[in-house]
Amino acid sequence: MVNIKADLPKIQVSTPTYTWEWNIDTDTLWLHDKHQCLISRSQHKPLCITSPIQLEFTTATHEIWDDQIRITYRGQNPASSLTVVWSFHPDFISLEPFLLTHPADLNLVRIIYFPQADGDSYKPSMYSHYAVIPGLSMSTTISPVVDLHSRLNTTAVLGSGAMRGPGLTQQWGLPAHYFCTFNTTDRWNAIGAKAQQSEAACWGLAELPQGDFRLEMREIGVSPILNLRADLWQHKPDSFGFHFIITFGENYHEAIRKYYQVLQREKYIAPKKHSPKKQEVLLAPQYNTWGVESALALPPEQLTEDLVREIFGKFKASGMQAKTFVIDDKWEGVYGELKHDPKRFPNFENLLKDIRAQGYNIGLWAAFLRCQNPAALGLDESHLLQTHEGKPLWLDHQTSRYGIFDMTQPKVQDVLRQRAKDFIRRYQPDLIKFDFGYELPSLDVAAPQDMTFAGERLLQKGLEVIVGAMKEENPDLVIMYYGLSPLLIDYYDLHSPDDLVYCIGDYDLETNRRIFFSSLCGELGMPTYSSSGYDWDSAFDIWFDSVASGSLGSLHCFDGDENGEKPSARHIAKFNGINSLVRKEAHFTTKPIHAKWQGGLRAGFSPSWERIEKGKTVLLALRTHQFDGKPTPNSYKDVIQFSMKLVIAALDDEGIGESSHIGIVPFSDGRCSIKSKYRRATFIEHHLGRKPNKSHLTFTDQLTLKLVQNETLEWVEIIFEKE
C-alpha cells in the first residue's frame, strides 16, 4: 500500500492516507492528506548547531530501501555527514533519529528541524496555517490552536521542565510530547474555501530523547527543536534527533487519537490494566483540601491537623458524596523526606485512620522530586541536579527553598526507593497526587550526573524509581499527574487538568478545553479527573464536561469562594447526581459533539460529549446550545430527543438505546424522549437528603419524560421492565 516513485528531481511517496514529496534540487518537503490537500511544506535539511565550530552541509544524495528513504547531506569536511531516515507505512510515517558523523571534538548544542536560512541565523520553515500545541499556556490567554498568521513569536516546551524553560508559562498538559498541524487554502476566505482545508497531521514522539523537546513558532512557521547542550555538559548523545510518529486524521483530535492507536499497535506502549480495587479508586469522586488552603491564603506553616479535620467535617456535613479525601500540599515537614510535620500534625496517622474508618479513600499530595535538606536523608548537595558551574540548583516556592534530586545517581535511587516504600507502608494512601514533575530544569540550566537520562528521560527515571517503588508496595495505588504523554503511561493512572489558578473567570471554559485533549487518554486506560475551579459558579459546567471522560472532583471552600459565594443545595445535588452516572470502566472512547476546529476563541471546545465502550454509546452529555449561543440539534443519533441540558447514561453494559437501566441528570425544566425496546419502566427521582420518589410508566417505542428542576433533585433513575 506504500508506493514510492522517483521522478527526479522529485521523489513521491503515496498511500491511501497521505502523500509525502521531496525535491532534491530545492530540498523542499511537502506533506499532503489523502485528498491531496497540503498539510505543510518546509525546507528539509536539519540545522545542527555545534560548538566550537559550526557544521556545514551542502550536497544531498538519497537511497531508497524498500519502504524507506535515506537522505544524506555532506559538506567540505569528508568526516561529517548527516543522514535523515524516513520509513513509510500505509497509515503513518516514521521519522527516525538522524545518523550523524562528525569530528570527535565537536559538541551538539541543538538540532533544529525544518529551518530556513535567514542570513547568519534561521527561522522555522514548516509552514501550515495552524499549529496545535496542548498545554501551550496555563491560562486562556492563548489558545492551544494557534493561527500561525498571527506571527506569535515564542518557544513552547513540549515535555518536562516548562516552568523553567523558555517561552510561555506552561503547566497543565505536561508532558505532552506531540504537536499537530493543519492547513487552509492560500485564500482561506474565498468561496468554498473550507471544503479545501486539509486534514491534520500529528507529530508525536515514539521514544523519549536525551534532550529538551521544544517547538519554535516564528514568521508563520514552526520548527521542532532538540536542545542537547553537549557544549555545557561534554557528552555525546546515544542518538541524534527525535523519533517521530506522524499520523493523520480528518481533524487534529482524530490525528492525536491515531497517534495513540499506532503507538499501541506497533508495541511502543501497552494499554493499562487495572485491578477491580484500583479501578474503584481511579474513578472515585474526590474532594481536595487545596481550595480551602488557597481560600485562606495559608502559608505552609499554618496548615494544621485541626484545620484538616475541620475541612473534612465541613465537606462531610455538606452531603457531597465524594469518596476520596485528598490532603494537598503543606502536610509534609520539609520536601523530600515524605514525612508529616510532627508539630503541626501530632496525630497525623490517626487522622488518616479516622477518615478511612468513615468509608473514604485517602489521597496525599507530594512533590517527590523536591529536596529541602539532603543531609536529613544521608545525602549532600552533590546528589542534587547541578548547574554547569558545578553548583546545586536551588529553587524557591512560597517560603520554601529546595533543590531537585538527581535521580540518575545510584545512592539517590536507593534512598528514595526506601523512602517511597516507607511512605506507602506508613500512611497507606490509595491515591497519590504527583506534582511538579514539570519543574525539572532544561539542559540550559542544570543536568544530572548520568547524561544517559538527560532531557525528557530524566522524569522517566524519577518515575521509574519513585512510582516503581510505591507500586511494588501497593500495586493498586493510583497515581494522578498531568499525563497527556502516552510514553509515560506505565507510571500514571489518572490525568489531572489542575491547576486552573490562572484562569479566573474562565474555569469552566478552560476545563472543557483541557478535557478536549485529555479525553483521548481514555483509549490508553487513563481517565481524567475533573478537579474544579476556585468558584462555585463554574462547578456545574466543569462536572458536566468531566463525566464522559472520567471522575468528578472538587477543590471548593464551603465557607465561601473568591466571589464570597457559598454552595447551594443545588451544587451538592448536581455533584451527587452526576457522580451517580460515572461509568465504572477505565478504557473508553470519548468523542466531542458539535466541536469547533478553528478560531482563537472557539477552537478546542466541545459543547457536548459522547462516550463509547465496546462500540456502544453508553453516555451522552448534551447541551442545547454551543458556546457562541447557537442552538444545537435537539436529537442525537435517534437515541434521544431533548429540550434541556442533560447527562444521560446507561447503568449497565448496554448502549443507551438497549439498556434496561439508565440515569438522567437534568439541568433545567424540559422534555426528553428516549428510544427503548421496552414498554414499561419504574421512574425514580433521587433528591438530596430525602427518600427517592417512585412511580410507574407505560409507553410505546420511546419513553417521553417531562422533567421539572428543583434545588434538591440529584438525578432520575429509570429501570425498564421486561414484558
Going by C-alpha positions, the residue among 652, 662, 490, 533 that lies closest to residue 585 is 652
CA 606 vs. chain centroid, Å, equals: 16
pLDDT tens per residue across span 86-109 = 999 999 999 999 999 888 788 999
Q: Under CATH, which architecture does the 589-721 domain have?
A: Sandwich (2.60)
CB distance 350 to 416 below 8 Å: no
CB distance 175 to 244 below 8 Å: no
- Helix (H, G, I), strand (E, B), or coil: what is residue 81? strand
What pLDDT shows up at residue 162? Answer: 66
Instruction: Write the class of the CATH domain 276-496.
Output: alpha beta
CB distance 666 to 716 below 8 Å: yes
Q: How far apart are CA 56 and CA 111, in angstroms?
A: 13
Q: What is the radius of gyration, based on Cα positions, of the chain?
A: 27
Task: Assign 3-class secondary structure to 230-248.
Answer: HHHHCCCCCCECCCEEEEE
* Strand 324-327 to 286-288 pairing: parallel
Give bridge partners of residue 384 from the DSSP assignment. Answer: 405
Cell numbers 454551543: residue: 626
Buried b (16+ CB within 10 A) or exposed e, 186-213: eeeeeeeeeebbbbbbbbbbbebbbbbb
Specify the pTM.
0.96
What pLDDT shows up at residue 164? Answer: 64
What is the residue extent of each domain of the chain? 3-265, 276-496, 589-721
Q: What is the mean pLDDT of each run of 10 residues along the chain (723 residues)?
A: 95 98 97 97 95 88 96 88 97 96 88 86 94 89 92 90 71 85 91 91 97 93 96 91 97 98 97 94 97 88 93 97 96 94 97 98 96 96 96 87 96 98 98 90 94 95 97 97 92 92 93 95 95 94 97 96 95 98 97 91 94 97 91 91 96 95 96 92 95 93 91 96 81
* Strand 81-88 to 99-101 pairing: antiparallel
Going by C-alpha positions, the residue among 346, 375, 349 that lies closest to residue 362 is 349
3-265, CATH topology level:
Beta-galactosidase; Chain A, domain 5 (2.70.98)
Q: Which parts of 428-561 are beta strand (E)?
A: 431-434, 446-447, 478-481, 494-495, 528-529, 550-551, 553-554
CA 591 vs. chain centroid, Å, equals: 16
